[in-house]
Structure 1
């Protein structure tokens, strides 16, 4: 199966190509059309809905591809399916305009996103951005507004923080995003990759290097360079020891535990921790401690809001100390500033 999109489709469509007139087609008609495809066809279309249906049906096999005619490069339909499903990426392309400097940070989940969003706002003077310059409209077209955070420094440097459904999701999105940049002809200066240590730091780094093995890359002081983009690993691992807390593996919650301890909130909720330990007959999991801290702090929203609020209200020295101890400060600072 071959799907052709972009403005120069005539050069890639043979005489047997199906130029699909997507206008005024309802979903039933699209489903009937896709059901009729055998996999040997070439379909020319600008319909995202049709591309979604075809990618879902033909996401297996390296021979099933989407060709972006403006560059002549292609993605497998599996990559198209994942870009659409996990990043809501507009695979019709058309990204362009005057270039602006930006970084992208992939994180595991929405609580991680709010933690790092607050860090960049607190420490590096970023502000939330409602509008992106023309050269960054691909971010607005690529990602749903409620699924990522777009931040901006006063000098016009942008940072998009994007949750990715776990460690494997971060690695998957890294690879797909690098492929998309190559195919659709756009560039970001830096990509941060924030993942948990899990088993050990070497294994976490190996997962990143394994994904980069499919690209020509070189080592840099803080990460790897792929083309004009630098990939910066941010390995999260800061064990938390406390007699009332059952710690198993490093996550962003551990950074929060260290921060609430330094801010004095942990001692305020100590009687509650010990009472729950006795009542449950076991130590509390980090997330349970977070919910108790949330209530004691007087925040009646969700954990995402609590993470962002608590980081923003914490003392600079305490936040910096936790990030330095976790080995994250240098990488975060590098992501926060454009190279001049």
Structure 2
């Protein structure tokens, strides 16, 4: 199966090509068309709906590809399927051109996303942005903002913070995103990869290096250079010791535990922690502590909203101290296009 997109599609429209089969068809008719395909066809389309249907059906097999006619480069339909499913990536292309200072930060989940969003707003003067730089318009739902946060600063720097469904999702999105930049000829200058340590720091770094092995890259002081894009690993791991809290492996909850401790909130909820500890007959998990902290703080929203609110209201010195202790401050500063020490 070959899918053709882009402005120069005429060069791929041979006598056996099916040209724009989406014309005047509804979804049911498109589904019937896709069901009739055998996999030997070449289909030229400008419909994301049709791309989604075909990518799902032919996502297996390296011979099934989408060709971006503007560059004549290709993605496997598995990569297209994942770019659409996890990043809402507009695989019709058209992103090359303007070179604004842009970055992307892949994080594990929505709580991580709100934590880091608040960090960039609190420490580096970012704000939610309605302006979209040309090199970030590949994300189809950019104006709905239900799948990521777009931040901007007055000096023209932009940053997208994108949740990715766990460590494996971050690594998957990293590889697919780098491939998309190759094919669609656009550049994001700085790409952050925030994952939990899990087993150990070296294993976490190895998972990133393993994904980059499929690309030409070289080491830099803070990460790796792939083409014009610098990949910055942000390895999350800051153990938290407390007689009432069961700590097993590093997550963003640990950063929050350190922060609420420095801010004095942990001590205020200690009587409640002890009571619950005795009632359950076990130590409390970090996320359980977070829900108690949320309630004591008087925030009646969800955990994601609490993370963002608490980080924004914390003291600069306490937030910076936690991030420095976790070894994250230098990488975050670089992603924010700030000089060290600022």
TM-score between both structures, scaled by the size of structure 2:
0.97
Distance in 2 (alpha carbons) for counterparts of 1:160 and 1:16: 41
For residues 202-241 of structure 1, the aligned pairs below 5 Å read 202-241=202-241
Number of the residue aligned with 1:291: 291
For residues 165-314 of structure 1, the aligned pairs below 5 Å read 165-314=165-314
3-state SS of paired residue (1:145): coil
**CA 1:140–1:4 in 2, change beyond 3 Å: closer, same or farther?**
closer
For residues 143-162 of structure 1, the aligned pairs below 5 Å read 144-162=144-162
Distance in 1 (alpha carbons) for counterparts of 2:118 and 2:36: 50
**CA 1:38–1:142 in 2, change beyond 3 Å: closer, same or farther?**
farther
Distance in 1 (alpha carbons) for counterparts of 2:188 and 2:105: 11
Distance in 1 (alpha carbons) for counterparts of 2:118 and 2:149: 11
Distance in 2 (alpha carbons) for counterparts of 1:80 and 1:277: 48
Distance in 2 (alpha carbons) for counterparts of 1:31 and 1:139: 24
3-state SS of paired residue (1:95): coil
Number of the residue aligned with 1:64: 64
Number of the residue aligned with 1:130: 130
Number of the residue aligned with 1:38: 38
3-state SS of paired residue (2:137): helix
Distance in 2 (alpha carbons) for counterparts of 1:247 and 1:279: 19
For residues 13-28 of structure 1, the aligned pairs below 5 Å read 13-28=13-28
User: Higher mean Cα deviation, 303-312 or 136-145?
Assistant: 136-145
What stretches of structure 2 of length at least 5 have no aligned partner?
Answer: none
Is 1:102 matched with 2:102? yes
Distance in 1 (alpha carbons) for counterparts of 2:270 and 2:286: 14
CA contact (8 A) 1:114 1:304 kept: yes
Is 1:337 matched with 2:332? no
3-state SS of paired residue (1:231): strand
Distance in 1 (alpha carbons) for counterparts of 2:36 and 2:167: 38
User: Higher mean Cα deviation, 266-275 or 14-23?
Assistant: 14-23
CA contact (8 A) 1:87 1:143 kept: no
TM-score between both structures, scaled by the size of structure 1:
0.97
CA contact (8 A) 2:90 2:139 kept: no
**CA 1:85–1:337 in 2, change beyond 3 Å: closer, same or farther?**
same
Distance in 2 (alpha carbons) for counterparts of 1:143 and 1:204: 33
Distance in 2 (alpha carbons) for counterparts of 1:8 and 1:182: 17
Aligned residues: 339
Number of the residue aligned with 1:113: 113
Distance in 2 (alpha carbons) for counterparts of 1:143 and 1:178: 23
CA contact (8 A) 2:196 2:250 kept: yes
CA contact (8 A) 2:192 2:233 kept: yes
1:216 deviates by: 0.3
Distance in 2 (alpha carbons) for counterparts of 1:120 and 1:200: 26
Distance in 2 (alpha carbons) for counterparts of 1:9 and 1:145: 31
3-state SS of paired residue (1:235): strand
CA contact (8 A) 1:89 1:143 kept: no
Distance in 1 (alpha carbons) for counterparts of 2:246 and 2:134: 48
**Structure 1 outlier segments of 4+, above 6 Å:** none
Distance in 1 (alpha carbons) for counterparts of 2:327 and 2:149: 24
1:126-174 Cα offsets, whole Å, 9 max, x none, are 1111121345433465685111111112110001100000000000000
What stretches of structure 1 of length at least 5 have no aligned partner?
Answer: none
1:22 deviates by: 1.3
1:59-105 Cα offsets, whole Å, 9 max, x none, are 00000000000110000000000000000100011113422111100
